[in-house]
Each structure stands twice: as structure tokens, then as C-alpha cells.
């Protein structure tokens, strides 16, 4: 750990980190954790390499003072898969996916929660809370359980995938469904946390984003020091894209990377305030009042971190794209059928965006591209069952099963072939 403080991204006001604060007291701007990088030990990279690939491998750049209080489920260390079959289909040569569904609760949120919940303990908080489209609540509930903290989660009624809801319930969170959307849930819980001793762990919390930036560090390490040309990330509340960008910037400031990648954010068409506003050339993001998409995890109309995300996209010379629900579901199917990777719809948005941008000629064939697959497909089984027909049911007999595998006429032709082969083998 090195010295760090909180800093407003708008007015630059600095704050001591040992306090409960979410936004700037002077201008209400977002806060960012800033480190005194001159304190960083010279052999940082060597120390990192001696530790297992994980969030805590990078502890020098995490804002935790008392490591012995760490609440961890061994998060991070997710695989970076090279996608040969999908690359061929899309027409790319160097495509990788970072499979964040491998995290303990099945999404990238665990990277943030290990740091955020440890911070809650450091600050002496007994209760933690969040608003959630599902994954945040699943993750916070698990880490709060491990820490012995009370957990409260607010979710939009009927709009949270089944798997995520069951996770929050089994880990013992107090789950409250509101008759409203995520944006309203966040606004309510934010006010409650400001006036009660309850620690807010949405991505507005700058400490949580510090854990999430480690995805950038891992990608560099998994590529043996190479930095991708492009990183493609699905965007909802816009915390993750901002966090990953911050990670790459810190690597560059520490001379651990020469370049930084272009950040590409992908939103769902019915919930695309950032994509719509930037495409129109606006300087501010115009919020969407009634966001709607099959990718419930990114069904967000007022992304709190929009300013950080817009900076990440602009500073990195990146871009933002939106994709339809049909494109998202098609990308989900492609990834599952071509690469054996089952992700939830929000994660598939990054692949859908990649396909669209490649078709538009905005991603070149030989560029090194990493798509972040944010959450596991088992979180949302209903969306699959709705699209595909039910498995065929037959009598419990060899005949009936064979008849489904191949029709009768084909069976006879094939058994002749098989017998011939057997005979041949015998003679050989």
C-alpha cells in the first residue's frame, strides 16, 4: 500500500480517505482514489509476478491500509481466452475474451466488493447496502456474509435475473424490490445511506472501482506485457469501463506499459444514454427515462459514472456503440456455440458491439482486441428457455433414443458402413 487520497474529478478538491464520503462536498463531483506514485517500490512488477493472479496480487495499488482485515473469496485471476472460431467468423485475428464470469459469485463485481467490503470494515461500518440490477446485490450479499455485516439491497421488481436474486437471498441479504427501475432504486438508497450509518457500495463508491481496475493489470500480465489495441466493455452505470481505464492509466504512469488501449463502451439500444449523447456530439449525457432491454444488468438510464466513462472514451480515443436485443442474443448464442462460453446477455453485448464495429470497419483485422465478458450465463437461464424449444422427450428405450439421433433409414445405412469397417479392421 502506498499513500493515497480521494480527489474530485471536477474541481480537484482533495479528501482524506478515512471517512465515509461518496461525492465532492464542494461541487458534488465524482471522487477518484489517487496514489502517491513516487512511493511505489522499484521492484513492483517482480513482486506482482511472485503472487498468484488475483485482485490482491496488486495490493500496492489498492486503497486498503489494514490488509489483515481483508475479506476475500479469491476473486480475480479469471482466464483470458483466445477465441479462434469466433475470430474466424467475425474476421479478426487477435481476439481474446476476459471471462469475468469465473469470479466467485459469477461476475466482475467481486473484484470491487472484496475491496469495498474490506473498506467498510476499516471504516467500522456494520451495515452495507446497494441498489442493483442483480449482480451487485449477489456479490455484496456474499462478501457481506463473509464479513459478518448486515446487507440491504434494493432491486427493480421483476427485472432482476432469477439466478442473481437467488444468490442475494441465500447469502442472507435483506432484499427489497421497488416498483420502479434501477435508477430510482439507486437514488433512494443513496439518500438513505447519506443519513444513516449504512455504507453504500454502488460504483459511485470510489474504493469499489479500485478493485475493478485490476482487470486491466491482469490483462497486461496475461498478455506478457502487451497492451491491447482495444478493450470492449458493456456499459450500464459506467463504473467498470472507468475503472479498467484507470488501471491502464496507472500502468502507463508507472512505466509498466508504453501505451493505453482505446476503450470501447457498448450499451443496449433501449438503455443507451451515453451512446446516444456522444453520437449526437453532446458534451453532457442526456438520461433515458424508461430504459428497456433484455440485458437486465445494463438496463440503466441515468449512469452515475457517466463523466468518468466519457473521459475514458475521449482520452483513450475510443468510442461507444449501441446494439439491439436481437444482436445481443445472437452474440450470446455465437459465443456459446463457437467458443463454449456461456455468458449473460449484458456480457454478450460486448461481442455484439464488436461484431457491429468490425462490420463498420472500425476495428481492423490484426488489432489486438480484448472483450470483457462481465457475468456468467447461468445467472439468467430464463432468457435461454424463452428462446429455444424444450428438449425432445421419448420412451426410455434404446430404439426411441436412436430414432431421435437419426431417422430409421439412416440407421440401416450407417450400420452397414459400421459392419464393413469392423470387418476390415479384423482383416488388417
Chain contacts with ligand PLP (rule: CB under 6 A): 107, 133, 135-136, 203, 234-240, 297-298, 344, 346-347, 374-375
Count the residues in the chain: 428
Residues 6+ apart with CB under 8 A from 248: 216, 220, 227, 231, 257, 260, 261, 316
- Least separation in angstroms between residue 239's CB and ligand PLP is 3
Binding partner at 347 among ligand PLP, Zn ion, none, C-beta below 5 to 8 Å by kind: ligand PLP
Residues 6+ apart with CB under 8 A from 199: 20, 119, 120, 123, 125, 127, 128, 129, 193, 205
Q: Which is nearer to Zn ion, 10 or 45 (CB)?
A: 10
Q: Which is nearer to ligand PLP, 256 or 304 (CB)?
A: 304
Helix (H) or strand (E) holding 177: strand 174-178
Residues 78, 200, 302, 61, CA torsion sign: negative
Binding partner at 110 among ligand PLP, Zn ion, none, C-beta below 5 to 8 Å by kind: none
- Least separation in angstroms between residue 169's CB and ligand PLP is 17
- Least separation in angstroms between residue 241's CB and ligand PLP is 6
Q: Which is nearer to Zn ion, 27 or 394 (CB)?
A: 27
| Near Zn ion by CB under 5 A: residue from 3, 27, 314, 410 | 27
13 binds Zn ion, rule: CB under 5 A: yes
Grid coordinates representing 261 are 488501449
- Least separation in angstroms between residue 233's CB and ligand PLP is 7
Grid coordinates representing 202 are 454502488
Binding partner at 192 among Zn ion, ligand PLP, none, C-beta below 5 to 8 Å by kind: none
For residue 116, give Cα distances in angstroms to 157, 225, 298: 25, 28, 21
Coil, strand or helix at 336: helix
Binding partner at 297 among Zn ion, ligand PLP, none, C-beta below 5 to 8 Å by kind: ligand PLP
Q: Which is nearer to Zn ion, 13 or 102 (CB)?
A: 13
| Near Zn ion by CB under 5 A: residue from 24, 298, 300, 312 | 24
- Least separation in angstroms between residue 123's CB and ligand PLP is 22
Binding partner at 26 among ligand PLP, Zn ion, none, C-beta below 5 to 8 Å by kind: Zn ion
- Least separation in angstroms between residue 425's CB and ligand PLP is 51
What is the DSSP secondary-structure string of 354-417?
A: HHHHHHTT-S-TT-EEEEEE-BBGGG-THHHHHHSPPPP---SSHHHHHHHHS-HHHHHHHHHH
175 binds Zn ion, rule: CB under 5 A: no
Q: How many residues bind Zn ion (CB under 5 A)?
A: 8
Half-sphere exposure of 196 (CA within 13 A, CB side): 13
Contact predicate 331/357, CB 8 Å: no
Q: Which is nearer to ligand PLP, 238 or 320 (CB)?
A: 238
C-alpha 159/C-alpha 345 separation (Å) is: 13
| Near Zn ion by CB under 5 A: residue from 4, 6, 8, 142 | 8
**Residues interacting with Zn ion, by CB under 5 A?**
8, 10-11, 13, 24, 26-27, 29
Amino acid at each position: 500500500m502506498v499513500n493515497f487520497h480521494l480527489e474530485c474529478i471536477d474541481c480537484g478538491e482533495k479528501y482524506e480517505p478515512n471517512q465515509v464520503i461518496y461525492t465532492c462536498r464542494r461541487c458534488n463531483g465524482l471522487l477518484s482514489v489517487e496514489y502517491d506514485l513516487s512511493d511505489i517500490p522499484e521492484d513492483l512488477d517482480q513482486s506482482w509476478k511472485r503472487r498468484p493472479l488475483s485482485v490482491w496480487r496488486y495490493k500496492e495499488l489498492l486503497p486498503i491500509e489494514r490488509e489483515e482485515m481483508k475479506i476475500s473469496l479469491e476473486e480475480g485471476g479469471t482466464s483470458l481466452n483466445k477465441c479462434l472460431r469466433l475470430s474466424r467468423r467475425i474476421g479478426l485475428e487477435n481476439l481474446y475474451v476476459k471471462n469475468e464470469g469465473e469470479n466467485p459469485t459469477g461476475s466482475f463485481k467481486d473484484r470491487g466488493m472484496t475491496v469495498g467490503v474490506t473498506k467498510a470494515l476499516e471504516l467500522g461500518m456494520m451495515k452495507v447496502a446497494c441498489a442493483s440490477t442483480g449482480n451487485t446485490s449477489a456479490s455484496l450479499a456474499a462478501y457481506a456474509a463473509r464479513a459478518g455485516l448486515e446487507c440491504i439491497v434494493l432491486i427493480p421488481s421483476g427485472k432482476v435475473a432469477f439466478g442473481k436474486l437467488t444468490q442475494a437471498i441465500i447469502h442472507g441479504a435483506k432484499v427489497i424490490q421497488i416498483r420502479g427501475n434501477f435508477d430510482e432504486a439507486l437514488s433512494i438508497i443513496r439518500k438513505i445511506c447519506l443519513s444513516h450509518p449504512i455504507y453504500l457500495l454502488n460504483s459511485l463508491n470510489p474504493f469499489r472501482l479500485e478493485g475493478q481496475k485490476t482487470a486491466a493489470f491482469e490483462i497486461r500480465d496475461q498478455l506478457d506485457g502487451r497492451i491491447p489495441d482495444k478493450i470492449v466493455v458493456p456499459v450500464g452505470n459506467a463504473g467498470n469501463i472507468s475503472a479498467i481505464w484507470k488501471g491502464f492509466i496507472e500502468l502507463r504512469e508507472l512505466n509498466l506499459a508504453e501505451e493505453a488501449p482505446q476503450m470501447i463502451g457498448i450499451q443496449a439500444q433501449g438503455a443507451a444514454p451515453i451512446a446516444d449523447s456522444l453520437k449526437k456530439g453532446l458534451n453532457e449525457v442526456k438520461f433515458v427515462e424508461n430504459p428497456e432491454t433484455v440485458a437486465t444488468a445494463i438496463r440503466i438510464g441515468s449512469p452515475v459514472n457517466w463523466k468518468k466513462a466519457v473521459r475514458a472514451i475521449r482520452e483513450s480515443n475510443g468510442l461507444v456503440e449501441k446494439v439491439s436485443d436481437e444482436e445481443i442474443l445472437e452474440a450470446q448464442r455465437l459465443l456459446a456455440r463457437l467458443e463454449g462460453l456461456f455468458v449473460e446477455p449484458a456480457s454478450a453485448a460486448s461481442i455484439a458491439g464488436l461484431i457491429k464495429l468490425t462490420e463498420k470497419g472500425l476495428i481492423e483485422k490484426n488489432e489486438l482486441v480484448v472483450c470483457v465478458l462481465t457475468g456468467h450465463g447461468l445467472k439468467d437461464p430464463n432468457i435461454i428457455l424463452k428462446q429455444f424449444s424444450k428438449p425432445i422427450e421419448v420412451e426410455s428405450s434404446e430404439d426411441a433414443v436412436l430414432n431421435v439421433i437419426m431417422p430409421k433409414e439412416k440407421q440401416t445405412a450407417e450400420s452397414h458402413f459400421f459392419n464393413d469397417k469392423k470387418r476390415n479392421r479384423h482383416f488388417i
